[in-house]
Amino acid sequence: MENVIEVSELVKSFGNKVALKNVNFKVKKGETIGFLGPSGSGKTTTIKILTAQLHPTAGEVNVFGKPIEKLKDRSFMRRIGILTDNSGLYERLTIFDNLALYCDLYGISKKSIDDVLEVVNLQSEKSTPVQKLSKGMKQRVTLARAIVHKPDLLFLDEPTSALDPVNTKHIHEGLRQLNKEGTTIFLTTHDMTEAEELCDRVAFLHDGEIKLFDEPQKLRSRYDSSLITVMLKGDQMVKVPKDEKGAEEIYRYIKEGKLATIHSNEPTLGDIFVQLTGRNL
């Protein structure tokens, strides 16, 4: 499968501060990749390098098989969508007019505006000036702007950080649909649930280094406990091994009518990150 992103020995320094240290990874076409880490771990710096907003100190970075300097060409920029913390929206214009400007820039029909407003749940607000919107609504407009041209590659930097659970779920559904239609998604987040729901693979970024990079389920299995927690009626808790002996013990509880619930003790991505780095996401 074609690699949309290829990063080799990437280093980025700001003066004496090293933000990224020998970072290596590849992103296949059609994948949704998550970079997980706390603030200051290097997530936003990675996106800015991948979108040619920053130059690497060292290393090789290719997007669509070309050096990132090529991304400044219009033909490449049309293939990319970017959502970062800098909205760049025109405050006095309506939501619709903001998106219409980008339709003109990309040379696409304004009919796509209604489609993306459906994704971000702002159909009824399209005539509202941006200056009257809440922070969360502005974030949704910025996301709509990033996907209005249905990019081949979409960069999302904390896309739902200011959103309520209802709109977060709505946007997740839209992103999954966009991915099904062929868009490769590169997502940075500190939201473990978001990463589990959306990502084919996740990277744990800590102090500028990738500590782990794999499928969420494989990571959970790798760090899984060897014990099963069994809750018995009367709020009694016991732990049994994940083997034949444990299965026999659980069967005995079922037969005696004592079993209430069973928990596999599978760790969350957050649990794994804490175990690996000693820090919360």
Among the listed ranges 49-53, 69-73, 203-207, which one has the minimum average pLDDT value?
A: 69-73
Q: Round the average pLDDT of the chain to a whole number and report it.
A: 90
What is the mean predicted confidence (pLDDT) over 144-149? 94
pLDDT in tens, 218-267: 998 888 877 888 999 988 999 988 889 989 999 999 999 999 999 887 88
In the predicted structure, residue 279 carries a pLDDT above the cut 70 = no
Q: State pTM to two decimals.
A: 0.85
**Distance separating alpha carbons of residues 196 and 238, to the nearest angstrom:** 28
In the predicted structure, residue 281 carries a pLDDT above the cut 70 = no
Identify whether the C-beta of residue 33 lies closer than 8 Å to the C-beta of residue 186.
yes
Q: Residue 21 — pLDDT band, cuts 50, 70, 90?
A: very high
Q: Residue 271 — pLDDT band, cuts 50, 70, 90?
A: confident
Identify whether the C-beta of residue 202 lies closer than 8 Å to the C-beta of residue 192.
no
Q: Residue 114 — pLDDT band, cuts 50, 70, 90?
A: very high
pLDDT in tens, 185-200: 999 988 888 999 999 9
pLDDT at position 273, please? 86
Across 9-23, 60-74, 166-180, 219-233, the highest mean pLDDT is recorded for 9-23
pLDDT at position 112, please? 92
Residue 149's Cβ-count burial label (10 Å; 0-12, 13-18, 19+) is: buried
Domains of the chain: 3-79+151-220 (3.40.50.300), 225-265 (no CATH)
Identify whether the C-beta of residue 192 lies closer than 8 Å to the C-beta of residue 270.
yes
CA distances from 267 to 64, 126, 204, 246 (A): 35, 42, 15, 20
**Distance separating alpha carbons of residues 155 and 48, to the nearest angstrom:** 10
In the predicted structure, residue 57 carries a pLDDT above the cut 70 = yes
pLDDT at position 278, please? 74
